[in-house]
């Protein structure tokens, strides 16, 4: 529901790391246990990137599945739906191994000599 403001936060974070250089792409990792809608985030990025250094940037979203370790039977399971219960034995005492991630993992910057080029040709 707040993907637009999240996009703004991503833009701010990216510009801090871009050090004044043109950004080609931004890699974001989103865990399945987050309520982030990739489609919505990608759409919001097309609005937020309308500013210097981000105009041509692509937002690439890597989705990470939810993985649980059961505190009872010890099984490690990958979730297909958001129910925090061990799929193997049904126990609710589980530890989240992955799925909570929400971070910018990397950015791609254009080389300095490429910065003055014109806009990208249409895809």
Binding residues for another protein, rule: CB under 8 A, are: 1-2, 4-6, 9-10, 12-14, 17, 24-25, 27-28, 33-35, 38-39, 42-43, 45-46, 56-65, 82-85, 92-93, 102-111, 113-114, 117, 120-123
List C-alpha distances in Å: 74 to 3, 9, 24, 69, 112. 36, 38, 43, 6, 51
Comparing C-alpha atoms, which of 84, 118, 117, 114 is closest to residue 99? 84
Task: Specify which residues 23 forms β-bridges with.
Answer: 109
Q: Which is nearer to another protein, 12 or 76 (CB)?
A: 12
- What whole-number distance in Å separates Cα of residue 95 and Cα of residue 30? 18
Rounded least distance, CB 3 to another protein, Å: 10
C-alpha closest to that of 7 among 32, 98, 15: 15
Q: What does the alpha-carbon distance between residue 51 and residue 17 come to, in Å, rounded to a whole number?
A: 16
Q: How far is the CB of 14 from another protein (least distance, A)?
A: 8
Distance of closest approach, residue 38 Cβ to another protein, in angstroms: 5
Least separation in angstroms between residue 53's CB and another protein is 14
């Amino acid at each position: 529901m707040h993907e637009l403001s999240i996009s703004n936060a991503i833009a701010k974070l990216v510009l801090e790391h871009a050090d004044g250089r043109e950004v080609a792409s931004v890699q974001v990792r989103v865990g399945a246990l987050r309520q982030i809608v990739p489609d919505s985030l990608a759409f919001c990025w097309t609005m937020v990137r309308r500013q210097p250094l981000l105009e041509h940037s692509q937002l690439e979203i890597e989705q990470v599945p939810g993985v649980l370790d059961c505190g009872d039977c010890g099984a490690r399971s990958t979730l297909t739906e958001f129910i925090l219960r061990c799929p193997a034995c049904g126990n609710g005492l589980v530890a989240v191994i992955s799925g909570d991630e929400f971070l910018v993992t990397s950015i791609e910057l254009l080389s300095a000599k490429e910065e003055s080029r014109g806009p990208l040709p249409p895809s």
